[in-house]
Every structure is written in structure tokens, then in C-alpha cells.
Structure 1
Amino acid sequence: MTAEVGVINERGIALAADSAVTINGSKVTNSAVKLFTLDSAHYVGIMIYGNADLQSVPWEVIIKSYREKLKNNTFEKLRDYVNDFEKYISSLEIWNSKDVQWAMVCKYTYTIINTIKPFLSEGKGLDEAINETEKLVPKDKNFDINEQEVITNFENKILNEFKSNFSGITDSQCSKCSKLVVRCLMSNYTPNDYTGIVFAGYGKEEMFPSIYNFQVDGIIDQKVKISGFEETTSNPLSNGGLASIVPFAQSDVMKTVIYGIAPELNDFRKQQLSQLKETIVSCFPKEQQKAVKSVFNRYDQLFDNHSQTEYVSPITSMLGNLSISELGNMAEMLVNLTAFKRKFSNDIGTVGGPIDVLTISKGEGPTWIKRKEYFDKSLNEGYKLRRR
């Protein structure tokens, strides 16, 4: 896991990322590289969070390979960089391997398997469990791949996984499950082990910075499955020039600072208020229930308004006036707060280690405020020549 943040106003952007990486769910090391730049001609920073690999290929290798391919070829818009990066990933020959593609299909196979199992533990038969699972699988087809080709290439492997997990499963049940796997793969559903990608900065013709955030689930049939695309900009023509704090991955501590209340605590408050409303409303005659509900809704809205007025608005209005260096300080502080919370709680320390901080402005371009290195640059003249 990780904690990352982008802090943006009209002057520029600051990005900060921790260095912790969890191995096998328990071992934590503090050496991961999650924040990158392209060559000096580009005013772009890239962050990753979540899964550090794309089907066993490290994202660090993919991003640095893209940097070498791109060299000094700039784009007018930041969105053009995102589009070109997607095309580059799709073009890599490594994805032609069926073993590499199976990694993605296998993930969805176990999504269906792990959805069926709880129904069986409730005492349902396998047919009923499969039918209940079918109701939960999205029917939309947002990911345009060759369905028949996937079935032809991987059906035997899919069937073997179902047979090893469900004794006595019939051929017709296996076939139905296989189709559910492919349907789930082609839908907008994304399992939890995706990679979040953040592009931040400027295209060549852009005056104000932007942040693009999206999730990459995997690649098959030379197509990348992308979801959750979001844009944040400080362009006054787009959003009035509003400054923003954009947290990624473990964002609970940062949101507590922004909204004045921990997200999980606010969720608990709303849940308890809803239950209390239902209990009290039921005690009134039917003709009075609407008025009683409106009282509860009003107080809930007052709470949200107070959070916005007393916490969110003062921070965002102050952000608009911060210098580039102050944006960097704020970004580092927000990641540090998350690391502090994780260190002194019942947690394995999923946020920590050196914090990399990068600022990007139209005047100076990408500038490292803090950056961990695993070697001494003074001993590596060749590196300095290559990166010149």
C-alpha cells in the first residue's frame, strides 16, 4: 500500500509519494520508487499506486522504457501524454505471450470462484450459487476484446481452476462459469489489485497544470483495461481556478485534514443518524413522518455545510495563494501525517520510508525537492551524461 498526493493551484503542482511496499501481505520494505519524471523536455510527472506490476512486469520498467522511447517528442496537451502512454503499453510485444495474458484471465477466474464460494457456505447448491453469482456480474461490455478468442485460448485453464475448486462440478456448470469469467472481464468491473496511474503537469501548449488519474487492471488482446478516469485542473476557464488537494491510495488521513472528520467516522455518524431517523419516524403518524424526516435531513445538511465552511473552504482558498515551494511542503506533510498515523496504530506500517517530492511549474518545469537515490551520482559520470 502507499500514500500519495497531488497539490495543485494555478502556479503549479506538487506531488509526493512514500516508499513503503508490502510483500506477501506482511513484509514491508521502504525502497519502492513510485514517482517518476520524463526527460527534461517534458513538464510531466508520473505516480503509481496499488499493484506495482502489470502482469508480472514492473511499472518502473514500463515507465522508464516509455521515457527512453519518448525522448524529446513533446505533446500539446497533458491528455495527449496519457493517450500516447496507453498506446505504448499496448504495443509492447511481451503481451503476446499467452502465459502473460493468462495472468489477467486468471484474476477474473478467481473473482468468479470467490463470489460463488460464499453462497455455497450459506448452504446453497452449486447451481443456485452460480445463478446468484450471475446476477452480480455486470452485463455491460465496456472492454472491447475478442470474446471468442479469449474462450478459445483460455477455456481449458479456466475449467481446470473451477474443477480444482468445486468437486463434482459438471461440464455444463463449468461452461456457464467460463462464460461468466469472460463477461466479467469485458465489463467495467475492476478487481482490487489494479494499479493507479497519475499523470500530472503540463502539455507544451498548456498554461495551467492538470492531474489525470486512472486505474489499469491489465492487458489482453493488445488492449489495456482502464477505468475510473478523473481529471483535476487549475485552469480558471474550466473550474474557476480552484486549487485542490488530490489524495491517492490511503487517503483517510488526508481527507480528515481536509473535511475535519475522519471518513470512516463520518460514515458511522451517517449510518447511526439514518437508523435513529427510521426508529423515531416510525413512532409518528404517517401524515407527520415526512416532516420528521426533513428535520433529520436538515441537521445532516447543516453538518456537511459546517464541514465545507469551516474546514474545506479555508484550506482551498489558502491553497490558491501558495508558492511552488509551499505546495511541496504541504504535499510532503500530508504524506508524513499518513505515515505517522500508520506507525502509531495497529498497522504493519504500510506507509513510510523516504518521501519523494516533485514540483512542476511552467517556469521551472519538474524540480525534485526530495528524492531518494540508491547510488552516488558523483561516482557515475555515465549516468549524468545519459540523463543530460
Structure 2
Amino acid sequence: MTAEICMMNRLAVVLAADSATTVSRWVDGKREERYFKGANKVFQISDIQPVGLMIYDSADILNVPWELIIKEFRHHIRDRSFNTVEEYARELVTYLSDNPKFFPIEIQNEKLVEASKGVISEWIAEAVEGLKPEQFHDAVVKMLADKVGAIADLQVPECIDQNHGDKVAEELSTEVEKALLALAGLAGIDDLDGSGDLARAAIMEVICDPGFYLDTTGLVFAGFGDHEIFPGMVEYESQGLIGGKHIFQKKGAYNLDQHQPAFLKAFAQTEMVDTFNAGFSFDAFSSVLAAMTASLTGFAEEVAQKSGGNFTAIDDVDSLIQGAQKKISTSIIDKARKEHSLPLRRVLGVLPANEMAELAETLITLQSLKEKVTKPSETVGGPVDVAIITKHEGLVWVKRKHFFDPALNSRFQLRQAAQHS
């Protein structure tokens, strides 16, 4: 996991991220995780234009590090500019489609087939769970009919068309069908009519829900487009590649204007920013609501008994309690909004850029401290990278870790100077 913050007012954007990364592998059937604290998550996506990018969740796509891709993209656009931050985002997510230099089709197919085999395994396991061996065949046949029949209701992602999804499923169905027949054989099912249809159904299941079955990466773009006076932020989720097409989904966007003075959002681990922003942690708030329901029920029973009333005569007691809970929670949220969120945004709207950077770094540090003292593993930590983006100064680093000492690498500095001259 990670902790990242995007903070904006009308003058500047601040991007801040920790450096922790998690590497997982399977050893003798057990999942092992190792934690490192040197990952780069904040990037400049143009050498000239005032736009930056943060990544979270998976650090690579189809085994290619995002850091490498982003730097290649920066070289790709060179001195080009775009009217809005949204256009920078669209340029990157479409840049990855039909790009065999990064993503050979064999690797794309390998990932999709692997995920589809996992779907088949889950379907068969669910179909035969709790049954006797002699019942396996009929259960799997019924499951096959249900899953194949459900294909018509599946919707492919908006960034590809239905024909493309059908074509990929048809091309890879034979390989997935082999795995299906092998699993069926282990379950004692020798003949299974329609296995090819079920294989295609499994592939379409993955294609239509790649965010669930494939590795995903959050992409947070922020800064100023050519035609934007105030900064904006747009968030995408990258969901891998299928048949040469990059699968992505827009998760949200926010642009400041004359009416909206500031913006603050955390990504991945968000507890500290939620507490700072709303005045309470949403985890704690959920616990309070759960306890409130139980307490209101007991309180209602006690009032009825002491007043001589018949509590069981109230046939809609659950709806009454839910209504009371809703009123209380609405009141808490409204009070928090007035006393925390709105004043915070007013202050953020006038904060100088350097103080915004200090605040963002502090919130990341607090999140790291919370992880350190409350959880057995530190999934947030390491140096905090902080960048400020303004309309005319562009992206400047306030804090940035290096794997080398720039003072010892004069040739590197000369190369950089020659590149930007």
C-alpha cells in the first residue's frame, strides 16, 4: 500500500507520497511479502509543462515498471502541450495501446489466460462444494449453462468495443479450455459438452471486469493545462492490456474555479487525511454507527418497559431505529462539514505553496506513524517526496530522494543541462 496526497488551491498544486512498496511472492504454497522504502511515486510527465503524476497500487503493468513508462512518455511528448490536464491523462492512457515495444502480445495473452484459468477454478470449486463425487457432473453442467447464459449480460469496458472482446475470447479459448478439461478430469468428469463455451465465458468474465481480475494502478494527474487558469486533477485506473488495447477507467476529476478555492484528497491509505478533513475517521464513524444501532434498540426497549408500553406491539421498530440513526449521522456529518471541512478549505485556499507542501508532508508522516504503531507491517513509510506545481514555475521538487548523490555526478548534470538547453 501507500499514502499519497493531492492538495490544490488557485495558485498551486502539491503532490506528496511516501516511498514504501510491497513485493509479494509464493513460496511452497505460502504468500511471502517484503517491504522496501525506496519507490518513486511522484513524476514529472513533461520537461516543460506544469503537470505531474502520482501512481499507487501496482508499480508495474505487465511486468514493465510505471517509472520506465512515464519517462518514455515524457520523451514521447517532448515539448508538446495540451489544453487541459484531462488531455494529458488521455494522451498517456492511449499511448499504451498498440505499443508492442512495452507489451508483447504474448505477455498480454499470458496474463489474460492465467486470470481466466483462475476464474474457471473458482467456478468449478463453487459448483461442487459440499456435493458427493457422483453429483459433480450434473452440478458442473448446470454451472456451465448458467455462466454461458450470463455472457449476454456482461458489458465490456468503455475503452474497447464488444467485437474486440469477442475476438480475444475466441482466440484464447482453446488454451483455457485445456485447463478446464484438466480440472474437470481431476473432479472425475470425463465428458463435458460445451467446454469451449465455458472457456469463452471465463475469458469474457475477466475482460468485462479487469479491475477485479487483473493488476491495477491508480494514476493521479494534476497541474495546469494551457487553457486552464486554475489547476485541476483527474484520476484514472489502469487495468492492464487486452488484445493490444489498454484498459482504463476514469475514477474522478476536480477543477478549481472562482467558486471552489481549494481541494484535498488522499489516495490508497487515507485515514489521517480523512480525520484532518472531516474531523473524524470514517472507520471510527462506522463503528459508532454500528454501536448506535444496538444501543438504540436497547434504549427503545427500556423506555417501553418503564413507561408500561408493549415494545412488541411496534411492528416497524427497525425502520424507526434506522430513521433515528440516519438523523443522528446526518447531524454529525453536517456539523463536521461546518466546523472542519469548510474552514479547512477556506484556509487551504489562501495558504502559500510552501506551507501547503509542509502540510502535505506532515499528513503523510502521520499516516506512516499510525501504520507503524497500529499494524504489524509498515505499508506506509520511507522518505516523503513532495512536489509543487505552479502555472509559470512548473513542477519543482521540495523534497526528493535520489539513489545517487548529484554532487558526485557532474556528468549527469551536464547531460541534463544539454537536454534542456
**TM-score normalised per structure 1:** 0.88
Q: In the alignment, which residue of structure 2 is the partner of 1:144?
A: 161
Per-residue deviation at 1:183?
2.5
- Please state whether the residue corresponding to 2:374 is helix, strand or coil: coil
1:298-355 deviation digits (Å, cap 9, x = unpaired): 2221122122222222222221111111111111111111111111122311111111
Find the partner of 1:104 among 112, 117, 121. Answer: 112
Counterpart CA distance in 1 for 2:352 and 2:346 is: 13
**TM-score normalised per structure 2:** 0.82
Counterpart CA distance in 2 for 1:305 and 1:136 is: 43
Write the letter of the residue equivalent to 1:334: L
Counterpart CA distance in 1 for 2:121 and 2:389 is: 45
Residue 216 of structure 1 pairs with residue 223 of structure 2: no
Residue 263 of structure 1 pairs with residue 282 of structure 2: yes
Counterpart CA distance in 1 for 2:243 and 2:316 is: 59
- Please state whether the residue corresponding to 1:191 is helix, strand or coil: helix
- Please state whether the residue corresponding to 1:348 is helix, strand or coil: coil
Counterpart CA distance in 2 for 1:91 and 1:346 is: 42
Counterpart CA distance in 2 for 1:100 and 1:288 is: 55
Structure 1 residues 1-388: aligned runs within 5 Å: 1-24=1-24, 25-94=32-101, 95-111=103-119, 113-114=121-122, 117-118=125-126, 120-121=128-129, 123=131, 125-127=139-141, 139-142=154-157, 143-144=160-161, 146-163=164-181, 165=183, 167-168=186-187, 170-172=191-193, 174-188=195-209, 190-191=211-212, 193-236=215-258, 240-274=259-293, 283-286=312-315, 293-387=322-416, 388=420
Deviates more, 1:95-104 or 1:168-177: 168-177
Answer whether contact 2:47 2:74 (CA < 8 A) is retained: no
CA gap of 1:283–1:363, structure 2 versus 1, over 3 A, is farther
Per-residue deviation at 1:121?
4.1
Counterpart CA distance in 1 for 2:312 and 2:387 is: 58
Counterpart CA distance in 2 for 1:148 and 1:288 is: 51
Unaligned 5+ segments in structure 2 are: 25-31, 302-310
Counterpart CA distance in 2 for 1:379 and 1:295 is: 66
Write the letter of the residue equivalent to 2:174: N
CA gap of 1:96–1:349, structure 2 versus 1, over 3 A, is same
- Please state whether the residue corresponding to 2:96 is helix, strand or coil: helix
Answer whether contact 1:188 1:227 (CA < 8 A) is retained: no
- Please state whether the residue corresponding to 1:235 is helix, strand or coil: coil
How many residue pairs end up in the alignment? 385
Answer whether contact 1:243 1:319 (CA < 8 A) is retained: yes
- Please state whether the residue corresponding to 2:246 is helix, strand or coil: strand
Write the letter of the residue equivalent to 1:259: A
Per-residue deviation at 1:196?
0.5
CA RMSD of aligned residues (A): 2.9
Counterpart CA distance in 2 for 1:20 and 1:158 is: 36
Write the letter of the residue equivalent to 1:342: E
Counterpart CA distance in 2 for 1:373 and 1:49 is: 19
Unaligned 5+ segments in structure 1 are: none
Percent of aligned pairs sharing the same letter: 24
Per-residue deviation at 1:194?
0.8
Answer whether contact 2:166 2:204 (CA < 8 A) is retained: no
Counterpart CA distance in 1 for 2:363 and 2:182 is: 46
Answer whether contact 2:233 2:253 (CA < 8 A) is retained: yes
1:235-265 deviation digits (Å, cap 9, x = unpaired): 23xxx22412111111123212222222222
Deviates more, 1:291-300 or 1:43-52: 291-300
CA gap of 1:68–1:292, structure 2 versus 1, over 3 A, is closer
Deviates more, 1:216-225 or 1:284-293: 284-293
Counterpart CA distance in 2 for 1:274 and 1:176 is: 48
